[in-house]
Amino acid sequence: RQQHDGIMKYLVRDLSKSIFKKLQPNKVVIILGARRVGKTMLVQEVLDQLDEPVLRLNGDDVYVHDRLSIRSVENYKQILGSFKLLFIDEAQKIPDIGSKLK
C-alpha cells in the first residue's frame, strides 16, 4: 500500500506541474478522464497552490446554467468580478459551454 501511495503522490505532483504550466490568461485548460479517477482533486491541488482567488463553479448547479446563459461580455465580467481564474467542475453539463468559454 505504501508503494501505491507513493506512486499516486508522484503522479499527482507530476500532473499538477503540467497543468500549472498550461494556465495562461484567456485560455481554457480541459481535464479529461474516466469517472471517479480524481480529476477534481487534481485540479483542487493545482488551484490551492495559486496566490490568486479562484471562482469555482459547478456545472451540476442550475443557477450556474442560468447565470452563464446570458451570453454577453458584460454578464461574464460581472460573474467573474475581480477573479482572474475560473474553475468549472462538471462543465460538460452546461449547455453550449464551448461557445461560452470562447
Instruction: Compute the mean pLDDT over every residue in the chain, rounded to the nearest whole number.
Output: 89
Mean pLDDT score, 59-72: 96
| pLDDT for res 12 | 73
| pLDDT for res 77 | 94
Is residue 87 within 8 Å of residue 43, measured between CB atoms?
yes
| pLDDT for res 2 | 46
**Single pTM value for the model:** 0.82
Is residue 12 within 8 Å of residue 45, measured between CB atoms?
yes
